[in-house]
Amino acid sequence: MARKTFVLMTFIVIAALLASCATPTPQIIRETVVVEKPVEKVVQQTVVVEKEKVVKETVVVKETTVVEKEKVVVATPVPKKVVEFAGFYPVDAPYGKEFRLVGYRLEQENPECKFVYSEYPGAEAYKAVTLRAQEGDPVDIDAGGGTSLAPGGGELWKSGLYYDLAKDMKTPAYGQTGGTWLDTFNAAAQKQMIIGESVGSIPYQQTQIILWYNTDHYTKYNLKPPKTWDELMANCETLKKNGISCIGGGGFNGYIGYWYDMILFRLMGNDAQYALYNRTDPKYKWTDPEPVKAAEMLVEMIDKGYTVDGYVGGDFTANQVAYFTGKATHIFIGTWLMGEMKDSIPKDFKQAVIYFPTVKGYEDKTPYEAAFGFINSLGLYKPGTKAKQQHSTECAVKFAKLFTSQEVQTQLVKALDFVSTIKGVPGPENIPGVGELLSGMKLWFPAFQNLSYTAPELRSKSWDNAALLAAKQLTPKQFAEKMQKDWDEFFSRQK
């Protein structure tokens, strides 16, 4: 009996659920309607008829009363054009909130557009977003951490899933009547977004890995900001003699790798390094003189005692604390440093930022004004064939224009302390000099030549090798051989 009841109840619940899913729900609009309702009212009236004869009679009078009545109107909602934004940040994180505010403003200014923020967090989220596009239901705007579509992302561009912004870039930017939208981006950003005749992405934020230094130390020991490796090493020697560690940072989390990458960049130049990392040209090998020399330079810096004791294996937060407490003079780290350490920086701490030094004899390989980092871009997908809602590239472009307007970017920089790619937007107030420094940048390249996104496995292996090199577990030559072996193995598997 109990079993039967249980089965019956389960059946009823399932049926109810199915019914609620299957029945289209009409949209009920409650409105107030004025209707005339006849009301019978009895009125006593005295009528005088002929001489002294009083007759009482009853008269029915119709009156009109206003009553409220609910009227159910079934209406079909006018479909809005959706702009789905795939956000790298959680919806309630500061970035998520600020981005959504721009979305609401888009809706206000363009009632036909509806902004939807979908969370796609994590460094690998771009793969999930790409998959959606491949399956015919793309988001409209992809703002995943590494969506820069060029140069490594060129592969993504070749997929044909992205919308070509070339035409739109020739039109005026948001709130402007003349000029072009493209002109509002700084030179480094423009280089990143243009692929041949096309424009693949809309960079809005630059995170640079730059060399930070303690200006009090520089003043005290009469040092000049170094432009070359030799000058940096000379400064380090002076600092060492005065009992101060020249180089902070390090750890096992890639910062040693950043040092190696940048030295190698100075020795090889951008194109050759890109070819080596991405194996686009087999003539470049890890066992070539430059990669070995870069490893030797890194080891020499450690051997001479210029780095903090925790350079190999220290915790990155502890290493940052060492820099801000004056135990180390330099730190090679991203522009996120100030935001990360906001509450721990002594008020009287003075610092400045410079580009990573060039190497004597290799100055022609790269311009001094060069830095690598992460560029966050918006990428617009073409409308999908299996999209569940009515998407609009037009609305997506409107959003992108609003988002990259000087006004909105200035607000965002103020709220989020990032470095904008839009000309005229001031740098974050808490990083002195960074705005000026980066406005003069001549070459920007993505961290790890974009392999972080296309081959995260190689990034892990490369960082392992760099850490082992710094910990003297590998000689520079062994390091180069190990890198070559790892690269050979990885690319042989990709065939």
Partner 1 sequence: MLQKELRKLIWPFLVPSLILYLVIGLWPNIEAFYWALTDYDGIAPRQTYVGLRNFQYMMNDDRWWGAVSNTLYFAVGTVFTLLPFGLLFAVLIMSVRRGHGFFKTTVYFPSILSLVIVAFLWVFILDPTIGLLNEALKALGLVDPLKRLLGVTALNWLGHPKLAKPSIIVVQLWSALGFYALLFMAGLAKIPAEMYDAAKIDGAAGWSLFRHVTWPLLFPTTQTVLLLLIINGLQTFTLIYALGGGGISPLTQVMATYIYRTAFTDRRFGYATALAALLMVIVMAFTLASRELTKREVVQY
Burial pattern 11-38, b for ≥16 Cβ within 10 A else e, equals eeeeeeeeeeeeeeeeeeeeeeeeeeee
Among 109, 112, 124, 340, binds partner 1 (CB under 8 A): 124
Q: Which stretch binds partner 1 (CB under 8 A): 61-69, 248-256, 272-280, 435-443?
A: 248-256
Q: Which of these segments, 98-106, 230-238, 252-260, 376-384, binds partner 1 (CB under 8 A)?
A: 252-260
Among 87, 151, 152, 254, binds partner 1 (CB under 8 A): 254
Q: Is 212 in the site for partner 1 (CB under 8 A)?
A: no
Assess 484 for contact with partner 1 (CB under 8 A): no
How many whole angstroms separate alpha carbon 405 and alpha carbon 37?
58
Considering only 180, 464, 478, 491, the residue that binds partner 1 (CB under 8 A) is: 464
CA 284 to chain centre: 32
183-199: b (≥16 Cβ within 10 Å) or e = ebbbbbbbbbbbbeebb
Cβ nearer to partner 1, comparing 71 with 127: 127
String of b and e for 44-67 (b: at least 16 CB within 10 Å)?
A: eeeeeeeeeeeeeeeeeeeeeeee
Q: Which two tokens stand for residue 13?
A: 């619940």
Name every residue whose Cβ is closer than 8 Å to that of residue 206 and which is 6 or more positions away in sequence.
188, 189, 335, 373, 374, 375, 376, 418, 419, 420, 421, 438, 444
- Total residues in contact with partner 1, by rule CB under 8 A: 41
Q: Which stretch binds partner 1 (CB under 8 A): 23-31, 37-45, 87-95, 467-475?
A: 467-475
CB 136 to partner 1: min, Å: 13
**Backbone Cα Rg of the chain:** 33
Q: Which is nearer to partner 1, 273 or 320 (CB)?
A: 320
Provide the 8-state DSSP code for 74. E
Residue number with CB closer to partner 1 (247 or 276): 247
User: What is the closest distance, in whole angstroms, from the C-beta atom of residue 338 to partner 1 in the complex?
Assistant: 18
* Helices 270-278, 255-268: crossing angle, 10 deg rounding: 120
Q: How many CB atoms lie within 10 A of CB 360?
A: 10
Q: CA-CA distance, 441 to 438, in Å (whole number)?
A: 5
CB of 401 to partner 1, least distance (A): 32
429 or 457, CB closer to partner 1?
Answer: 457
Q: According to the binding rule CB under 8 A, does residue 429 interact with partner 1?
A: no
* Distance of alpha carbon 58 from alpha carbon 220, whole angstroms: 112
The nearer residue to partner 1, 169 or 469, going by C-beta atoms, is 469
| Beta strand ranges found along 193-327 (DSSP E) | 194-195, 198-199, 202-214, 245-247
Q: What are phi and psi of 202, to 5 degrees?
A: -125, 90
Cβ closest to partner 1, residue 87 vs residue 249:
249
- Closer Cβ to partner 1, 180 or 454, answer by number: 454
245 binds partner 1 (CB under 8 A): yes
Q: Taking CB under 8 A as the rule, does residue 457 contact partner 1?
A: yes
- Binding part of the chain for partner 1, among 108-116, 178-186, 244-252, 331-339 by CB under 8 A, reads 244-252
Provide, rounded to whole angstroms, the least separation between the CB of residue 493 and partner 1: 8
242 forms part of the interface with partner 1 (CB under 8 A): no
For residue 198, state whether it binds partner 1 (rule: CB under 8 A): no
> Of the two residues 98 and 315, which places its CB atom closer to partner 1 in the complex?
315
Q: Binders of partner 1 among 264-323, rule CB under 8 A?
A: 308-319, 321-322
Q: Does 461 participate in binding partner 1 (rule CB under 8 A)?
A: yes
φ, ψ at 312 (rounded to 5°): -100, 110
Rounded Cα distance between 367 and 450, Å, is: 20
Question: How would you class 142 by CB atoms within 10 Å of its CB: exposed for 0-12, middle for 13-18, buried for 19 or more?
Answer: buried
DSSP-derived secondary structure letter, 449: G
For the CA atoms of 485, 491, 493, 495, what is the dihedral angle to 10 degrees?
Answer: -150
Q: Check if the beta carbon of residue 212 is closer than 8 Å to that of residue 336.
A: no
Residue from the set 189, 193, 328, 400 that interacts with partner 1 by CB under 8 A: 328
Least distance to partner 1, CB of residue 346, Å = 14
Q: Minimum CB separation from partner 1 for residue 389, in Å?
A: 22
DSSP E strands: which ranges in 51-180? Answer: 53-75, 81-87, 113-119, 141-143
Cis before residue 138, ω within 30 degrees of 0?
no
Q: Does 232 bind partner 1 (CB under 8 A)?
A: no
Nearest to 141 by CA among 403, 423, 412: 403
Contact stretch for partner 1 (CB under 8 A) within 121-129, 167-175, 234-242, 369-377: 121-129
* 333, 467, 480, 483: which one binds partner 1 (CB under 8 A): 467
139 part of the interface to partner 1, by CB under 8 A: no
* Shortest CB 323 distance to partner 1, Å: 10
The Cα-based distances of 226 to 82, 234, 241, 354, 359 in angstroms read 51, 9, 18, 8, 11
Q: By C-beta, is 86 or 188 nearer to partner 1? A: 86
Q: Does 362 bind partner 1 (CB under 8 A)?
A: no
Q: Does 128 bind partner 1 (CB under 8 A)?
A: yes
Residues that bind partner 1 (CB under 8 A): 2-3, 6, 124, 127-128, 131, 245, 248, 251-254, 308-319, 321-322, 325, 327-328, 456-457, 460-461, 463-464, 467-468, 471-473
